[in-house]
Amino acid sequence: METARLLKASGQVHLFRAGLWKPRTRPGSFSGVGEEGLPWLQKVTQETGLPVCTEVALPLHVEQCLRHGITTFWIGARTVSNPFSVQELAEALAGTHVCVMIKNPLHPDFDLWTGAIERFQKAGLHNLVAIHRGFYPFEKSGMRNTPKWELAIDMKSRFPELPLICDISHLAGNRTNLQPVAQKALDLEMDGLMIECHINPSLALSDARQQITPEELNNLLHNLTFRDDTTPAPERHQKLEMLRNQVDSIDEQIIDLMSGRMKLIETIGTYKKEHNIAILQVKRWNEIIASRTRQARKGGLSAAFLEKVLKAIHQESIRKQSLIYKKRQDTRDKTQEK
């Protein structure tokens, strides 16, 4: 209630989100208080006037929420990943006039995300909102989830009438990354931000690292640059901007993948040094060139262009491994001197 009061006082919060059922990967973790918390949400609205929202994953959750007057729901990434679950929820909400906020699935399957939206539409629900919360990363990076902003842009193109909100907390995964992620979302003209708050984040029972206090939320919003929606832009420039944003998103992913590749190269260099294996393996290099250029042609890329890129990457790989050899040799020389 203290969190709700402070958020209401800020004048910048339009919806109070609180999860009562939280899906967990493994048993034993805190998975929410369940139905017991529904009267608490009613009290938030009664005292502050803020509308409330909670996650539902089962028709039973829907039934319990509707009995307590909850009219805004969100469907989590794990649930959206299962079309059977989505269909059951759509059928449970059919005939109501509630708002349903639909997160992207765990993995970057655009059809799965749009399919979930279409299931609710076919059930007669039209007060829908898409939520971009990023995707589970194959390779770890500085953020909890991979943004893949180009899919959010595709969502705006596919459903232009649908509000698109960015869950910056799940994207960032920690409070230090929230500001740049929030600004990026606004620069892409998203319609709102979902941000996790707690009066004492260190005591939060889940996702403590990505939560901020209501005061920190005010500071974050104050330091953001908001676009002026009243300024019309020529349609051709909007299209160009969307395409450039997609390029930026892909570039970010290329850099993250390249960073992961170079870390593997360092591990390989250490292994070669320990087992007295030469840095340059000509046969392996020729295999890489042959297989990657075949893949390039299938993807419509110039084989000559890709070969230049691969040579630059290979030179950097040789440089990194050479440094490992040199570092080990220098250490050995110093040891012998002692």
- 235-337 — its CATH code? 1.20.59.10
Q: Which tokens belong to 182?
A: 């929030």
Distance (Å, whole) CA 162 – CA 1: 31
Q: Is 66 exposed, middle or buried (0-12, 13-18, 19+ CB in 10 A)?
A: middle
DSSP designation for 212: B
Q: How far apart are the first and last CA of the chain?
A: 66
Residue type, 140: K
Could you tell me the two tokens for 270?
């250490």
- pTM summary value: 0.69
- Tell me the two tokens of residue 217: 């939320």
User: Residue 75: helix, strand or coil by DSSP?
Assistant: strand
The full length of the chain comes to: 338
Distance CA 307, CA 112 (A): 35
Rounded Cα–Cα distance for residues 218 and 211 (Å): 13
Q: What is the pLDDT of residue 171?
A: 92
Per-residue pLDDT of the chain (338 residues; tens, 9 = 90+): 999 999 999 999 999 999 999 888 788 888 899 999 999 999 999 999 999 999 999 999 999 999 999 999 999 999 999 999 999 999 999 999 999 999 999 998 999 999 999 999 999 999 999 999 998 876 666 667 888 888 998 898 899 999 999 999 999 888 989 999 999 999 888 999 999 999 999 998 888 889 999 999 999 999 998 866 555 555 556 777 878 888 888 888 888 888 988 999 999 989 988 888 888 888 888 888 889 888 888 888 888 888 888 888 988 988 888 998 887 666 555 555 55
Contacts of 207 (CB under 8 A, 6+ apart): 169, 170, 196
Q: How far is it, in rounded angstroms, from Cα 170 to Cα 131?
A: 11
**Does residue 22 come out as left (phi exceeding 0), alpha (psi in the -120 to 50 range) or beta?**
beta
Q: Which DSSP state fits 17?
A: E
Position 103 scores a pLDDT of 96
Q: Do domains 2-222 and 235-337 have the same CATH topology?
A: no
Kindly report the CATH number that applies to the domain delimited by 2-222: 3.20.20.70
Contact residues for 12 (Cβ-Cβ < 8 A; gap 6+): 217, 218, 221
Query: Would you state the pLDDT for residue 142?
Result: 65
Domain segments of the chain: what residues? 2-222, 235-337
**Triad 74, 79, 83: Cα angle to 5°:** 115
pLDDT score at 48: 96
Maximum distance among all alpha carbons in the chain?
A: 83
